[in-house]
Amino acid sequence: MRRHRNVKIVATLGPASNDYEMIRALHEAGADVFRLNMSHGDHAEIKARHAIIRQVEKDLDSPISILADLQGPKLRVGVFANGEEELVPGAAFRLDLDDAEGDVHRVKLPHKEIFDALEPGAHLLVNDGKIKLRVKDCGATFANCEVIVGGTISNRKGVNVPDVVLPLAALSEKDRKDLEFVCELGVDWLALSFVQRPADVEEARALTKGRAAILSKIEKPNAVKVFDSILAVSDGIMVARGDLGVELPVQNVPPIQKQLVRKCRAAAKPVIVATQMLESMIDSPMPTRAEVSDVATAIYEGADAIMLSAESAAGSYPIEAVTTMSNVAAEVEADPTYTEIIEASRKSEGKTVADGIVSAAREIAETTDVKAICCFSQSGRTALLVSRERPRVPIIALTNHITTARRLCLSWGTNCVLSGHVDRFKDAVIAAVRAAKAQNLAGEDDMIVVTAGVPFNTPGSTNILRVAPCAERLIYAVEQE
Bridge partners, 376 (sequence order):
398
Active site residue 35: yes
Helices (H), 226-279: 227-233, 241-247, 253-266
Report the C-alpha dihedral over residues 342, 378, 33, 335, rounded to 10 degrees.
20
Closest listed residue to residue 302, CA positions, set 267, 335, 346, 334: 346
Q: Which of 24, 217, 362, 406 is catalytic?
A: 217
Query: Cβ neighbours of residue 58 under 8 Å, at least 6 residues apart?
Result: none
Q: Which of 12, 49, 275, 388 is catalytic?
A: 275
- CA 309, 65, 221: angle at the middle one, nearest 5? 50
Sign of the torsion angle spanned by Cα atoms 383, 386, 387, 388:
positive
Question: For strand 142-149 and strand 92-96, is the pairing parallel, antiparallel, or unpaired?
Answer: antiparallel
Query: Cβ neighbours of residue 225 under 8 Å, at least 6 residues apart?
Result: none
For residue 167, report the phi and psi dihedrals to the nearest 5 degrees: -75, 60
Query: Cβ neighbours of residue 478 under 8 Å, at least 6 residues apart?
Result: 426, 429, 430, 468
The CB-side HSE value for 412 (13 A sphere, CA atoms) comes to: 31
3-state secondary structure of 95: strand
Contact 222, 243 (CB under 8 A): no
Active site residue 76: yes
Q: Which amino acid is at 276?
A: Q
Strand order in the sheet with 123-126: 106-108, 92-96, 142-149, 131-138, 123-126, 159-160
Active site residue 108: no
CA gap 66, 409 in Å, rounded: 9
Q: How many CB atoms lie within 10 A of CB 59?
A: 11
Q: Which residues form the catalytic set?
A: 35, 76, 217, 275
